Amino acid sequence: MDAILQVRDLGFSYDGSRQIFKAISFDVNAGEIICLVGPNGIGKTTLLNCLAGLWAPLEGSVLLDGKNMAGMPARDIARMIGYVPQTLHPSFDYTVLEYVVTGNAPWLNIFEKPGPEHYQRAEEALEQMAISHLADKPYTRLSTGELQQVSIARAIAQKARLILMDEPTAHLDYGNQLKVLRLIKGLSAKGYAVVLTTHNPDQVLLLDAKTAVIDHQSLFHFGAWQDILTEELLSGMYGTALRLTRVEGVDRMVCIVPGL
Amino acid sequence: MKTGSTPSKNKHRQRLWLLSMLLILGVFLSLSLGRYSNDPVKVLNVILSKLGLSVPVDPAMVSIIFNVRLPRVLASVMVGAMLSLSGAVYQSVFRNPLVSPDLLGVSSGAAVGASAAILLGMGLATRQIFAFVGGMLAVFITSLVPRLLRNRTNMMLVLSGIIVGGFLSSVLAIMKYLADEQTQLASIVYWQLGSLASILAEDLQAILPVFLGCSTLLLLLSWRINILSFGELEARTLGVNLRQVRSIVIICASLLTASAVSVSGTIGWVGLVIPHLSRLLSGSDNTRSLPTTLLVGAGFMLVIDTIARTLTTVEIPLSILTGFVGAPLYAILLYKQRARLE
């Protein structure tokens, strides 16, 4: 099967002179999880937003289903790519169902309103996220963990094949972080491609994901985490000694700091 | 769970029916009230006779109902609906439940426009155009300031509205200072307090197309307005043509406000309070709250204007009444919503 998204020699700059990143190439296939890893300010979110078509690249291209995204209407992009922002900033107390049903927007014309089948699709998305019980609750009253689930449910209602997530675990407590990682695993098992940014390199190992790294010298690395992540790269990137080691008893590789 | 949306949809329909019935009843009662006569039976007789179902008893009453009271009653209904609807839409688009048409400077812009027309001795049609242009110009400048300062937060927008509103009130003050005390100044002051006392059937004809056109468009776009209220990032990733929808919506809302204000003068509080009240009734989903707002706003203005013309022997300016009623009502609504606003 062809890749959903093909990134080719992508470069970006906000002001046209100082380049945030350049020469980025990789493919995103169905069912894949790709983690964008790197320290703060290196351009992870910027790259994610370029993949979402929110910002036009300075050079190179992003191909969505083989077609260059640069000329595509926002609606066609939204039919394939769902975006889960880092945080939601609710201004009005829509119910969870009213919020999730807006995932149908790219499938409706400008004057159309969602009908029974669209509400049903939203309800199914809530079911998949196991949050049907929240349907009638105002989304202003949810915890950040629940909001994250609602946001993912909307991407599912959107019928997106690729879901982009900006720091999906950033504002969550430890339990909810793991819950979201499990949800991401589940999405990939169902055939969704997921690209997310993360601060925490151990999450890459937990997700057993492919990894895309912009290191501290602005060089791009991409591949299976086993091939990309080295103690040297990680330590350089985060400016502190980090260890990649197998932990006895849990029998998995972890990325940990040996001490302060 | 699967049927979760159906019962509440029926409830919403019932609510709209009830509000419509109340509004029609209100219109009838308001037509019955006035200095000349307070007899609903006579009014019923006049209406029936107009429909060819009975013979008019009192020709003077016919003239009063159709030439005096009816235009005014219809105007109050339309102005209330227009101000409330545009307030609700502004709040959604600017993602701020505290925004009202006044806060973005549309009303003060329209006031400056109308006053300019009064100073230049223009007629009502020109005054409407001036008020509209002034209102649109004001909201344009208000939305420009956050863009220039590269800070597009809600707070910046509100501050920008205060800046533009403050500046325009000074412009208005100069105009008052320059105005002829006997004629022009009185007109300007009276205009600023809001009144429908001098409304004519022609005025209705002037605002009716705007009312019908813009309200229809906004109701058709009500679901897209939900998406606008999520903010730019979410709207764009949902594939919404943000600029297109936002421009249509802001232009329609500004057109509504400017037209309403051009026939009634500035009327405070309605555009802020009624959308809140309606959201409390129907929930925040704009596909429901916008029609509710339209009907509640129409009914509210009808009551206010009826009080304005019948309570005392002299006309009470509308803004005085909307302030007396609207401000405490807003306080009550905020108290009721306190848990939601956190």
The reply to whether A257 falls in a domain is no
CB contact under 8 A, A116 and B96: no
CATH code where residue A17 lies: 3.40.50.300
The mean pLDDT of B140-147, rounded to a whole number, is: 88
The answer to whether B109 and B135 have CB atoms below 8 angstroms apart is yes
> What's the CA gap between B9 and B195, in Å, rounded?
37
Counted across chains A and B, CB pairs separated by less than 8 A come out at 100
Q: Higher model confidence: residue B107 or residue B81?
A: B81
- Say how many domains are in chain A: 2
Are residue A57 and residue A2 in the same domain, yes or no? Answer: yes
A150 and A199 inside one domain:
no
Which member of A93, A108, A132 has the closest CB to residue B340?
A: A93
How far is it, in rounded angstroms, from Cα B139 to Cα B143? 6
> Closest residue of B to A48, CA-based?
B237
B74 CB contacts (<8 Å, ≥6 apart)?
A: B27, B204
pLDDT score at B4: 46
In this complex, the residue of B2, B96, B242 whose CB is nearest that of residue A91 is: B96
Question: pLDDT tens track of chain A, all 260 residues?
Answer: 579 999 999 999 988 788 888 899 999 999 999 999 988 888 899 999 999 999 999 999 999 999 999 989 999 999 999 999 998 988 899 999 999 999 999 999 999 999 999 999 999 999 999 999 999 999 999 999 999 999 999 999 999 999 999 999 988 999 999 999 999 999 999 999 999 999 899 999 999 999 999 887 788 999 999 999 999 999 988 889 999 999 988 889 999 998 88
What single letter denotes the amino acid at residue A204? Answer: V
State the residue range of the domain holding A33.
Answer: 1-80+161-231
Q: How far is Cα B86 from Cα B261, in angstroms, rounded to an integer?
A: 12
- For residues A169 and A72, membership in a common domain is answered with yes
Interface of B with A in 200-239 (CB under 8 A): 220-224, 226-227, 229-231, 233-234, 236-239
Under DSSP, the state recorded for B122 is -
pLDDT tens profile B91-133: 998 888 877 877 778 888 989 998 999 999 887 778 878 988 9
Complete domains list, chain B, with CATH: 80-341 (1.10.3470.10)
A155 lies in the same domain as A171: no
Based on the fold, state whether residues A139 and A153 are members of the same structural domain.
yes
Using a CB-CB cut-off of 8 Å, the residues of chain A touching B231 are 89, 91
Mean pLDDT, rounded, of chain B: 88
Q: Would you call B96 an interface residue with chain A, using a CB distance cutoff of 8 Å?
A: yes
The pLDDT value recorded for residue B2 is 41
A140 contacts in chain B (CB < 8 Å) = 340
In a domain, A256, yes or no: no
CB contact under 8 Å between B223 and A76, yes or no, is: no
Residues B321-341, mean pLDDT to the nearest whole number:
83
Say which residue, B13 or B251, is predicted with more confidence. Answer: B13
Last residue of a domain, one of A159, A192, A207: A159
Please give the backbone phi and psi of residue A5, each rounded to the nearest 5 degrees, phi first. Answer: -130, 130
**Mean pLDDT throughout B324-336?**
89
Tell me which chain B residue has its CA closest to the CA of residue A141: B340
Ramachandran region, residue A250 (left: φ > 0; alpha: ψ -120 to 50; beta: rest) = alpha
Q: Report how far residue A196's alpha carbon sits from residue A35's, in angstroms, rounded to the nearest whole number.
A: 5
Among A221-235, B153-167, B199-213, whose mean pLDDT is lowest?
Answer: B153-167
Q: Which residues of chain A neighbour B4 with C-beta distances below 8 Å?
A: 97, 119, 123, 135-136
Looking at residue B1, its pLDDT comes to 40
The pLDDT of residue B7 is 66
Residue A176 domain flag: yes
| Separation of alpha carbons A217 and B240, rounded Å | 37
The minimum CA-CA distance between A51 and chain B, rounded to whole Å, is 11
- Residue B211: per-residue pLDDT: 96
Residue A39 falls within a domain, yes or no? yes
A75 and B237 within 8 Å at the Cβ level: the answer is no
Residue A110 is nearest to which of B230, B245, B340, comparing CB atoms?
Answer: B245
B58-77 per-position pLDDT tens digit: 788 888 888 899 999 999 99
Same domain? A96 vs A225:
no
Which range among A168-177, B198-207, B291-300 shows the weakest confidence by mean pLDDT? B198-207
**Share above pLDDT 90 across residues of chain A, in percent, rounded to a whole number:** 79
Residue B245 contacts A, CB cutoff 8 Å: yes
Task: Report yes or no: A145 and A173 within 8 Å, Cβ to Cβ.
Answer: yes
Residue-wise pLDDT for A96-124, tens only, equals 999 999 999 999 999 999 999 999 999 99
The verdict on A23 and A72 lying in the same domain is: yes
Is A137 inside a domain boundary?
yes
Q: What's CA B66's distance to the chain center, in Å?
A: 23
Written as one letter, the residue type at A46 is T
Is A181 contained in some domain? yes
* A133 part of a folded domain: yes
**A130 and A119 housed in the same domain:** yes
Contact B233 A94 (CB under 8 A): no
Alpha-carbon distance of B67 to B61, in angstroms, equals 10
Which residue among A109, A126, A159 closes a domain? Answer: A159
Give domain status of residue A224, yes or no: yes
Q: How far apart are CA B284 and CA B276, in angstroms?
A: 9
Q: Are A1 and A70 members of one domain? A: yes
Enter the tokens of residue A106.
């790219």
- Same domain as A184, residue A109: no
**Cα torsion through A234, A238, A242, A248, rounded to 10:** -80
Indicate if A123 and A220 belong to the same structural domain: no
Residue B299's pLDDT band, with cuts at 50, 70 and 90, is very high
* H-helix segments, B198-285: 201-220, 222-228, 232-237, 242-264, 270-282
* A99 in the same domain as A39: no
B177: left (phi over 0), alpha (psi -120 to 50) or beta: alpha
pLDDT tens-digit profile of B258-290? 889 888 989 989 999 999 999 999 999 999 999
3-state secondary structure A57-113: CCEEEEEECCEEHHHCCHHHHHCCEEEECCCCCCCCCCEHHHHHHHHHHHHCCCCCC
Which helix (DSSP H) or strand (DSSP E) does residue B137 occupy?
helix B124-148
Q: Cα dist. A243→A238, A252, B331 in Å? A: 12, 13, 59
Q: Which residue among B221, B229, B234 places its CB closest to the CB of A85?
A: B234
* Mean pLDDT for the stretch of residues B222-226: 97
Domain limit, last residue, from A127, A159, A191: A159
